[in-house]
Chain A
Amino acid sequence: MTDQAQLLPGTLDLLILRAVSLGPLHGYGILLRIGQISGNALLIEQGALYPGLFRLVRQGLLKASWGTSENNRKAKYYELTAAGRKRLQQETDNWNRLANAIRTALSAEPEEA
């Protein structure tokens, strides 16, 4: 567990959107999906997911409805709205630009004078 990375502030929302973009999921499912697609490399406290989820619902990026899980438990399922899909695209682009820039900056070799 110690090799898991702490989340950067603001990135949880992006991960939730990404996880949900692959299909409707309940909260616990989202956590599992994030673990799965990130290779379990990120440390997320389970409860921290929910304020983020509700925030996204309030912003109209996700919509929620009650359903039943595979093992017959009542659970709330989330899926992307059109606005959510657009936002995911934007945020992904932003993130890639930022990551590239930082990678480039960090990997730059000092040039000979």
Chain B
Amino acid sequence: MNFLAYLRSVSSKFLHHSRTAGEMEDELCSHVQLRADDLESTGMSRAEAERRARIEFGGFERYREESHHALGGSFIETLLNDVRISYRKLRKSPGFTLVASLTLALAIGANAVVFAVLNGLILRPINVPRPASLYGLERGSYKAVNHSYPDYLDFRNRNRTFEDLAAYNLTSVGLDTGSGDPVGSWIMETTPNYFDALGIQPYLGRLFHASDDHGPNSVPYIVLTHAFWHSHFHDDPGVVGRVVQLNKHPFTILGVAPPDFRGTILFVFPDFWVPLTNQEQVEGVYDLNERGKRNLLMVFGHLKPGVTPAQAVADLNSVGAYLEANYPKDDSQMYFTLTRPGLAGDWFGGPLRQFLSGLMLLAGLILLAACANLGNLFAARAADRSREISLRLALGSSRLRVVRTLFTEALMISALGAVVGLWGSIVILRGLSTWQPLPTAPLTIPISPDAKVYFFALLLALASGLVFGAVPAMQTFRTNPYELVKSSSGYRTGRRMTVREVLLVVQIAICAVLVTSSFVAVRGLVRSLHANLGFEPRNAMLVETALSMAGYSGDAVPAMQKRMIDTLQAIPGVQSVGLVDRLPLYYGANYTNIFSDKTSDLRPSNVAARPTMYLISPEYFQAAGTSLLSGRAFTWHDDTSAPRVAVINRQLARKIFGSVSAALGGYFKLENVTRVQVVGIVEDGKYETLAEEPRAAMFLPILQSPSTQTALVIRSERDQQEIAAAIKRTVTGLDSGLPITLRSWNQELESALFASRMATLSLGVLGILGAMLAVTGIFGMAAYSVSKRLREFGIRVALGAKRAELLHTAMGRALKLLAFGSAAGLFLGILATKVLAYIVYQATPNDPMVLGGAVLAMSLLGLLATWIPARRALNVDPNLLLREA
């Protein structure tokens, strides 16, 4: 058949329904007239001729109807008819429609949100040309993504499988556009070949290239992101060529990047790009010539056409072997794996991927539970309508036609649910994508609902409609019209589990999984809030600044730091002020290798420990509230002229000396062969993440190891607002050009808690959804079975059944199913929480609180859901019911 012609016929009929019908009528009439003309010409009167013509034509109505069918579109017609019928039926039971479509809306909405996040962070590559062949380098068994600059140069120059390799680092600078008041900006420091390696073309002006590089500080150029150009330069095309100050050094704005390119890391959007070549001006130090300083965040590039990842790995490994042989002091574990560059490698991307996949799975379970729930409701409705359906079957309606009606109803509900759910999810996603979860970091969640998300939601709606529509449809196929018309009710009470009961058990099990996992997450969060951090965030204010941003370098740095400490100390009400180069629990930590005193060969394989390293002022422990276990803290005399000293934590003391007492007074060696004496031991704390195992940490005096990174901890019992104002005044008084961030330590900890908060929030929401589904599911089932058996209960009451017995009969089955489902779900939930352990602090399911909580929650939910039906069963009035029959 000519499909186009069919479509045309159907569509013209659909669109011009009345016109087609009218035309057909005209045509049939014209036939009768033409015949009458012929008859008239044989001598008949006109009236007689027309009468004869009509008789000869045959059943006008019948042929009109048949013609109608023949014209096609009967499918659409039936569909419209079905939709009309379903619409009427759904309108008749608004409560059912509301509950069913809301259930589905929640489930589909949850899925759409999770899918959109998954899509934005994991499925979608970063927005560059040819993303498929772009890979980042991970090194060694830790899958480290950070590399040193000399190593990077060797990778780039010695490999034969990459088109080019580029690298970047994230850092912040003080940007002064001419106002004299520098603003902190997040930037990407990149190798000059960055844009060319990615194949990015400028939106405005030009980008920097490898050919601009003529040695340190030779590329004083920056390239703006389109967003930053828009927000800070108001789309002014005249910015190209303008000179701005970065940390008091002049840089020229070269150009603007295209709007859809926002850097090579998915969740951090930098403000602009600066060549790494000018590191000294940007960071205040130049360490690109040190092979041991692995401070490049990521090295990446396009594979040459036709090169497989395996070939690239083999090639890199041979470069790595060369490096290990030639630089044994600095380079070890020089073997590689490739990763997608967007998520900063697997150390971050791995757990995120796992967590989001886990979340997607749970959201899928929610939808499944919702489908089971709706399948149940629909089956109950279909059972109530079984008389109607069997009548229709008995009167000759085809089963297919009846099933079609049922499916239409299900699909209408699911379409309604999808629209509402999608609308809700778009609102949530809009909020999420403009949300800056952490005030101190340019962290964003790059999600915008795109066609994929809409398609996904549509698919889910269709699939779920078909799934829960299939339950009553199956029943219809088994219906024997004769049997059903005969007996009055289709309800049987048998020992065998019916499809509906199995569905209910499945649904309850799924809900129990969700409830258990959200309990585990909440419990983990509560624990992490009460974990011993190794410092006391209460009553502590933080001032963070990078002195390099204000142009301090060399000896001016420690002098300024000492002045800041002294003047802040003088504020009334301030108990102590301490300085640290990098706060614990704040975007990673610095590490260094240390060696035992007896080791003379300082190659990486002989490392005794790899503690996190903090450079602190003498009063830091006091200000931070870290307790000293033995020995002493630093003094202002521990400077470059004094012997090198260190304070270590209990974990490190045990690790290299065996015990706390043996450690005090002992020696170890730093990477640069310096011998350091342990003068004090402090308690363990949390350094990188809340979820970490006890970790080794080492503190060195800032006067012996200077740093421009400055975080001041100010401890005071005074009112936070007051003290904050005083601190701000004091620092501005010292140097008005110094960009600072000032906040309380508790605010700062938001970042450390962010991951587990998000995990807890998302799991909590899913848990609540699961609980709601469990309640409605059990309620639906119990209410239905009670309403079906009211007469039976009436008889039981009339025969003298006790309340307890009645309750047992009415609710026993539902509660048994509930117990069965909950047990299964609890078990599965415990298995599922292993995934959570990556994100949530101490997420262990072997916790009596979690188990007890989940059991209690499920029982409460069961009680809640069966309460109303149970009351209805108990309040049954035998007289009324028996009379009714």
Report yes or no: A76 in contact with B2, Cβ–Cβ below 8 A: no
At the interface, yes or no: A54 with Cβ under 8 Å from chain B? yes
> Which candidate, A3-11, A56-64, A105-113, is the interface stretch facing chain B?
A56-64
Chain A residues with CB under 8 Å of B26's CB are 74
Do residues B27 and A27 form an inter-chain contact, with CB atoms below 8 A? yes
Query: Does residue A69 face the partner (Cβ distance < 8 Å to B)?
Result: yes
| A interface residues, how many (CB within 8 angstroms) | 26
CB distance from B21 to the nearest CB of A (A): 12
A27-B31 in contact (CB<8A) = yes
Contact of B71 among A54, A60, A69, A76 (CB under 8 A): A54
A26 touching B34, Cβ below 8 Å = yes
Interface presence of B689 (CB below 8 A): no
Q: Which of A47, A54, A61 has the most CB of B within 10 A?
A: A47
Given contacts A26-B30, A58-B9, A74-B30, contact A47 B72 (CB under 8 A): no
Q: Is A38 an interface residue (CB 8 A)?
A: no
Please state if A28 and B34 are interface contacts (CB–CB under 8 Å): yes
Asked if A51 is at the interface (CB within 8 A of a chain B CB), the reply is yes
Q: In whole angstroms, how far apart are the Cα atoms of A14 and B361 in the complex? A: 59
Q: How many residues of B contact A (CB 8 A)?
A: 30
- State the main secondary structure of chain A at its contact with B: helix
The reply on B58 being an interface residue by CB < 8 A is yes
B6 beta carbon closer than 8 Å to chain A? yes
Cβ of B9 to closest chain A Cβ, rounded Å: 5
State how many angstroms separate the Cβ of A32 from the closest Cβ of chain B: 8
Q: Are B6 and A75 in contact (CB under 8 A)?
A: no
- Render B50-72 as a binary contact track against A, CB cut-off 8 A, 1 for contact: 00000011111011001101111
If A47-B62, A47-B63, A51-B67 touch, does A60 touch B27 (CB 8 Å cutoff)?
Answer: no
Interface presence of B4 (CB below 8 A): yes
In the complex, which residue of chain B has the Cβ closest to the Cβ of A50? B67
Question: Does B804 lie at the interface of the complex (its beta carbon under 8 Å from any beta carbon of A)?
Answer: no
Minimum distance in angstroms from A65 CB to a CB of chain B:
11
In angstroms, Cα B26 to Cα A73, docked, is 11
> In angstroms, how far is the closest chain A Cβ from the Cβ of B858?
59
A78 and B81 CA atoms in complex are apart in Å by 32
A83 within 8 Å of B (CB atoms): yes
CA distance in complex: A27, B23 (Å): 14
- Least Cβ–Cβ distance between B247 and chain A, in angstroms: 75
Kindly identify, within residues 14 to 60 of chain A, every residue whose CB is under 8 Å from any CB belonging to chain B: 26-29, 45-48, 50-55, 57-60
A2 CB-CB contact with B under 8 Å? no
B57 touches A47 (CB 8 A): yes
Q: Which of A58, A60, A61, A71 contacts B70 (CB 8 A)?
A: A58
Set of chain B residues within 8 Å of A45, measured between Cβ atoms: 56-58
Task: Specify which of B5, B28, B37, B56 is in contact with A73 (CB 8 Å cutoff).
Answer: B37
A54 and B70: CB pair below 8 A? yes
C-alpha spacing A75/B35, complex, angstroms: 12
Any A CB within 8 A of the CB of B1: yes
Partner of B27, one of A46, A50, A52, A58: A50
Q: List 8 A-B contacts (CB under 8 A).
A: A45-B56, A46-B31, A48-B58, A50-B31, A50-B67, A51-B70, A57-B71, A60-B2
Give the interface of A toward B (CB within 8 A). Answer: 26-29, 45-48, 50-55, 57-61, 69, 71, 73-76, 83
Q: 3 tightest CB-CB pairs across the interface, nearest first? A: A60-B2, A60-B5, A47-B63
Known: A47-B28, A74-B26. 13 other contacts (CB 8 A): A26-B34, A27-B30, A46-B58, A47-B62, A50-B66, A51-B66, A54-B67, A60-B1, A60-B5, A69-B34, A73-B30, A75-B27, A75-B31
